[in-house]
């Protein structure tokens, strides 16, 4: 199936892996935002996306279900952030890769991350559909 084919196996995510990665990262940022709001421990560790893709068997999951879940997760993120006060949006944590961050910075990172992987998805689909 083209959605599970990678351009360079072992090095680049397939379309299916991209969607499930985006879903997992969306849920991770939700947890981190809640951690900012409800915990004194506001330190975040970088993840290993390649290890997670293998460990969670992204290519064995349903692509369309992943899309549906990612859309629902994004709606939940928007609802979470929309319900925050200006003061809450400015609560800071520290990420092992990105350094100090508040929810505004998290939104910037999420946006850049999504765009990077959506461009990757476009390239992957063009390549495997040739």
Where is average pLDDT lowest: 31-35, 53-57, 87-91?
53-57
Q: How far is CA 117 from CA 9, 19, 31, 108, 120, in A?
A: 17, 9, 21, 14, 5
Answer whether 98's CB lies under 8 Å from 109's CB. Answer: yes
The dihedral built from the CA positions of residue 33, 37, 39 and 40, taken in this order, carries a sign that is positive
Asked whether the predicted pLDDT for residue 1 surpasses 50, the reply is no
Residue-wise pLDDT for 87-119, tens only, equals 999 999 999 999 999 999 999 999 999 999 999
Longest dimension (CA), the chain: 51
Q: Report DSSP state, residue 45.
A: P
How confident is the model at residue 55, as a pLDDT? 92
Return d(Cα 124, Cα 6) in angstroms, integer.
Answer: 7
Q: Quote the pLDDT of residue 50.
A: 85
Percentage of the chain lying above the pLDDT 70 cut = 88
Most confident of 63-67, 102-106, 120-124: 102-106
Judge whether residue 2 has pLDDT over 50: no
User: 83: how many CB neighbours lie within 10 A of its CB?
Assistant: 8
Residues 12, 124: contact at Cβ < 8 Å? Answer: yes
């Amino acid at each position: 199936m083209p959605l599970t084919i990678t351009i360079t196996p072992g090095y680049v995510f397939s379309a299916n892996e991209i969607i499930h990665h985006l879903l997992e990262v969306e849920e991770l940022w939700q947890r981190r935002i809640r951690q900012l709001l409800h915990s004194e421990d506001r330190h975040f560790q970088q993840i290993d996306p390649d290890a997670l893709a293998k460990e969670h068997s992204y290519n064995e999951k349903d692509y369309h279900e992943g899309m549906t879940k990612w859309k629902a997760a994004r709606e939940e993120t928007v609802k979470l952030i929309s319900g925050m006060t200006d003061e809450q949006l400015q609560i800071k944590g520290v990420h092992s890769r990105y350094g100090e961050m508040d929810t505004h910075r998290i939104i910037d990172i999420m946006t850049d991350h999504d765009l990077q992987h959506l461009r990757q998805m476009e390239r992957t689909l063009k390549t495997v559909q040739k």
